[in-house]
Amino acid sequence: MSTYLLVSRSTEYEARLRALLGSRLSVVTGEFLTFGADSVLEMVTDTPRIVLLGPVLNFEETRDLTRGLVERYPDVGLIVVREQRADLEDWVDELSLHAVLSPLASDETTRDLLDRLAGWLVSHGRAEESDFAEDADAETESDAQPDAPWSSLFHATEAETPADAVEPTSSTAPEAHDAEQAAEATPEEPEWLFPPLDPSVRSEALAVIAPKGGQGKSTIAINLAVGLASFAPNSVVLVDGDLQFGDITVALALEPTRTIVDAVAPEAVADELVLKTTFTHHPAGFFVVASAPSPELGDEVQPRHLGALVDRLRGIFRYVIVDTTPGLGEHTLNVLEHVTDAVVVSNMAVASLRAVRSELTLLTTLGLMPVNRHMVLNFSDKMAGLTAKDAASIIGTPIDVEVPRSSAVVLASNRGRPLVHDDPRDPAARALQELVARVAREDTTKRTRIARRRRILEPQ
């Protein structure tokens, strides 16, 4: 009996799912959708318990399929397999879905989601436990990856209250105070709310974010650009996305002639050569897209312009780094839709750490969490009355890089020099290099490939 049904246009995804589910999976390829959703549904002979739709199905196709499936099999569990995009919210709002799963999710994450949805269907009398019994050939080829991305999320269906929906956090996401207690009880094995980086996804565009101001975003963005430029000279661009009060050119002692306002102007949108003239070159071998010359001009840059700019820059540079304003304003949300990595920054104050936790939760719920995440604890200090472990428990994710408080940071900034150049042996500089190595982990081992891929831009 086929418990699971996949309707998809990706043979690669089909093969992956088959390796996980064996003969419990039946597949109808998306080509049949050419003749309408009904022709796909007519091919389904057994009663599926869980249906996965996608990847590579459009909204209309998915909508027609969900409607048809719910009509025929009212108890069915529905999962859309789709990348995290801004319009995902609309899909979730309009379709009767139980979950959204990224096609990049590891086998472990996928299996976890399927198991939890199965458990929910059984507990709500929509299926029998025996429906999900594993057969002999399931799991044989599955390749467990401990570093699962947080790429699946659950939502209430239209017909149900959120309380009825499968709750992703029930087993792994205790509230902040519970997390602290859990950490105390089992300090060696915390249950992270936001699992760490997926090593299979390459970094390309990074947004440096923090819910609160003054946490060190700009410092980190600048030093990332300098560090990455040593791996990919002249193929790194740093965008000052703090449109009103950006200070990157000041911190780098640069005097830009053009700014982000020019970079999103129609002339630059129409012509890549014009776009390139808006960059300011730094001698360390990277480019800067400077912030607007005044807050009023900064206001003219629309959130979607910023997102589109990130996309265009990704076509030109190996690494795009975007410094942002504090919080999750429209501009930052737009940027997050277009990046592969989030570098999340917090100091050691409990209020900041709690705010990070809320920010990560919101991003996950919105489906806007980039595939890779690097959690940076800045201003780390033995005198703070909190350890990095405590900080991690409050946030719900491990700390990836701890940058100590250091007077060398301010000194370097006042000199208009990036810290990793100004005082490379300073503990904060070393920590920032650690972050660079983490982001450039592919390049550290495969420098030659970069040489091939690099697209040199002449300094103006």
Residues that bind ligand ATP (CB under 6 A): 210, 213-219, 242, 326, 378-379, 403, 405-406, 409-410, 413, 428
Shortest separation between residue 432's beta carbon and ligand ATP, angstroms: 9
Shortest separation between residue 240's beta carbon and Mg ion, angstroms: 8
Shortest separation between residue 246's beta carbon and ligand ATP, angstroms: 8
Residues in Cβ contact with 194 at an 8 Å cutoff, skipping those fewer than 6 apart: 150, 360, 364, 369, 373, 395, 396, 397
- Rounded-to-integer distance, Cα 5 and Cα 12, Å: 16
| Nearer residue to Mg ion within complex by CB, 10 or 218 | 218
Residue 427 binding partner per list Mg ion, ligand ATP, none, with a CB distance cut-off of 5 to 8 Å that depends on partner kind: none
CB 402 within 8 A of CB 431: yes
Residue 110 binding partner per list Mg ion, ligand ATP, none, with a CB distance cut-off of 5 to 8 Å that depends on partner kind: none
Shortest separation between residue 421's beta carbon and ligand ATP, angstroms: 15
- Rounded-to-integer distance, Cα 25 and Cα 34, Å: 22
CB 357 within 8 A of CB 395: yes
**Which residue is it, tokens 């996980």?**
20
Of 143, 71, 156, the closest CA to residue 111 belongs to 143
| Nearer residue to ligand ATP within complex by CB, 326 or 398 | 326
- Rounded-to-integer distance, Cα 390 and Cα 398, Å: 10
Query: Tell me, what DSSP letter sits at residue 80?
Result: E
Q: Are strands 280-282 and 286-289 parallel, antiparallel or unpaired?
A: antiparallel
Shortest separation between residue 180's beta carbon and ligand ATP, angstroms: 25
| Nearer residue to Mg ion within complex by CB, 324 or 406 | 324
Residue 214 binding partner per list Mg ion, ligand ATP, none, with a CB distance cut-off of 5 to 8 Å that depends on partner kind: ligand ATP
Shortest separation between residue 245's beta carbon and Mg ion, angstroms: 8
| Nearer residue to ligand ATP within complex by CB, 323 or 390 | 323
CB 218 within 8 A of CB 248: yes
Shortest separation between residue 161's beta carbon and Mg ion, angstroms: 41
Residue 108 structure tokens:
């472990």
| Nearer residue to ligand ATP within complex by CB, 66 or 218 | 218
Residue 406 binding partner per list ligand ATP, Mg ion, none, with a CB distance cut-off of 5 to 8 Å that depends on partner kind: ligand ATP
Choose one: 107-115, 139-147, 209-217, 420-428; the region binding Mg ion (CB under 5 A).
Answer: 209-217
| Nearer residue to Mg ion within complex by CB, 3 or 332 | 332
Residue 102 binding partner per list ligand ATP, Mg ion, none, with a CB distance cut-off of 5 to 8 Å that depends on partner kind: none
- Rounded-to-integer distance, Cα 236 and Cα 272, Å: 16
Shortest separation between residue 218's beta carbon and ligand ATP, angstroms: 3
Choose one: 56-64, 213-221, 392-400, 420-428; the region binding Mg ion (CB under 5 A).
Answer: 213-221
Decide if residue 218 touches Mg ion (CB under 5 A).
Answer: yes
Backbone φ and ψ of 380, nearest 5°? -65, 140
Residue 346: count of CB within 10 angstroms of its CB:
27
Residue 351 structure tokens:
């209020």
| Nearer residue to ligand ATP within complex by CB, 242 or 262 | 242
- CA-atom Rg of the chain in angstroms: 24
| Nearer residue to Mg ion within complex by CB, 107 or 242 | 242
Segment 112-115 long-range contacts (CB within 8 Å, at least 24 positions apart):
112/148, 112/152, 113/79, 113/152, 113/154, 114/4, 114/21, 114/50, 114/79
Residue 91 structure tokens:
């899909």
Choose one: 41-49, 139-147, 211-219, 407-415; the region binding Mg ion (CB under 5 A).
Answer: 211-219
Shortest separation between residue 52's beta carbon and ligand ATP, angstroms: 40
Decide if residue 215 touches Mg ion (CB under 5 A).
Answer: no
Residues in Cβ contact with 440 at an 8 Å cutoff, skipping those fewer than 6 apart: 203, 227, 228, 231, 232, 319
- Nearest residue to Mg ion on Cβ basis: 218
Shortest separation between residue 436's beta carbon and ligand ATP, angstroms: 15
Shortest separation between residue 165's beta carbon and Mg ion, angstroms: 38
Residue 438 binding partner per list Mg ion, ligand ATP, none, with a CB distance cut-off of 5 to 8 Å that depends on partner kind: none
Residues in Cβ contact with 106 at an 8 Å cutoff, skipping those fewer than 6 apart: 144, 145, 147, 148, 149, 198, 200
- Rounded-to-integer distance, Cα 16 and Cα 103, Å: 10
Residue 210 binding partner per list ligand ATP, Mg ion, none, with a CB distance cut-off of 5 to 8 Å that depends on partner kind: ligand ATP
Residue 409 binding partner per list ligand ATP, Mg ion, none, with a CB distance cut-off of 5 to 8 Å that depends on partner kind: ligand ATP
- Helix or strand holding residue 373 (H, E): strand 372-380
Residue 413 binding partner per list Mg ion, ligand ATP, none, with a CB distance cut-off of 5 to 8 Å that depends on partner kind: ligand ATP
The residues that touch Mg ion, with contacts defined as CB under 5 A, are: 217-218
